[in-house]
Amino acid sequence: MGAGSVRARYLVYFQYLGTDFNGVAAVRGVQGAVGVQNYLEEAAERLNSVVPVKFTISSRTDAGVHALSNAAHLDIQRRSDRPPFSPEVLTEALNTHLKHPAIRVLQAFRVPSHFHARHAAISRTYLYRLATGCPRPDRLPVFERNRCWALQADCLDVAAMQEAAQHLLGTHDFSAFQSAGSPAASPVRTLRRASVSPDPTSPFVLPEESRRLQFWSLEFESQSFLYKQVRRMTALLVAVGLGALMPAQVKAILDSRDPLGKHQSRVAPAHGLFLKSVLYEGLGKRKWPEEVPACTLSG
């Protein structure tokens, strides 16, 4: 640390459309591959920190997955004659220097030097969007492509899906819903909420199409999730909704703790998944500026 210089730690919320990225995490040395973190850290280089700025991401998302609100902490060390950035100035500066239009910094907070964006999170909520009544993906409105899973079915048995979702609530060993490569030390997680509900008609659907297309939202809340757990739970709930599985079979699959079972190969496509919110003690009730949608704090 430079003589007299002060290091300031910030918590930053940001959002992105994941279509163009190999996930949120930075990609190093792989030609043609890039993560959201690469662009964030490139923008941070323009802040003239004494030491390079590294974003520690709260919640990793895979290639193609979106985020209404992800979070990260970062340290900025300015020269001794420069005061720390205010959170408002930092937010504006990062957005000014971001070079990808699918990423936006929402807000920043000053936090203690021991704060950790991943470990301190008390809640994470994921949203998964489905569309029914779409015989082929190319029949979706262009504005909805890569933002939902288009099912060829005309309808879903939502009551059966809701019944199946109840089996997943609570504290369980979720090994059956964990993909290979998970870094988690334990497969035990507590699922606080799992809901299935109709979405309001998409504003991007023409009136003559709205009678055919129906959108649905699945939401899952937990302090943390296993690798691809949400996409695997979604795939099984969709199978229930399509009549391929009974609700009771979801409980049997959960109890099996077997990630390689007959039905566990189902994984919902990445492009329908959104990280909706990451909450922290003492920060979850703060309000965003008016232009930021309220959904970035819900969950």
Provide the annotated active-site residues: 62
The answer to whether 296 and 15 have CB atoms below 8 angstroms apart is: yes
Is 16 within any annotated ligand binding site? no
The residue behind tokens 């959170």 is 87
The answer to whether 160 and 240 have CB atoms below 8 angstroms apart is: yes
**Minimal CA–CA distance to 6: which of 59, 71, 78?**
78
Q: What residue type is 207 in one-letter code? A: P
Q: What distance in Å separates the CA atoms of residue 205 and residue 272, rounded to the nearest whole number?
A: 17
C-alpha to C-alpha distances, 141 to 155, 210, 296, nearest whole angstrom: 18, 11, 24
CA 140 from chain centre, in angstroms, equals 23
| Crossing angle for the helix pair 247-256 and 229-241, to the nearest 10 degrees | 150
Q: What distance in Å separates the CA atoms of residue 56 and residue 299, rounded to the nearest whole number?
A: 22
Q: What distance in Å separates the CA atoms of residue 233 and residue 212, rounded to the nearest whole number?
A: 26
Which residue ranges are tagged as binding site for substrate?
126
Which residue ranges are tagged as binding site?
126
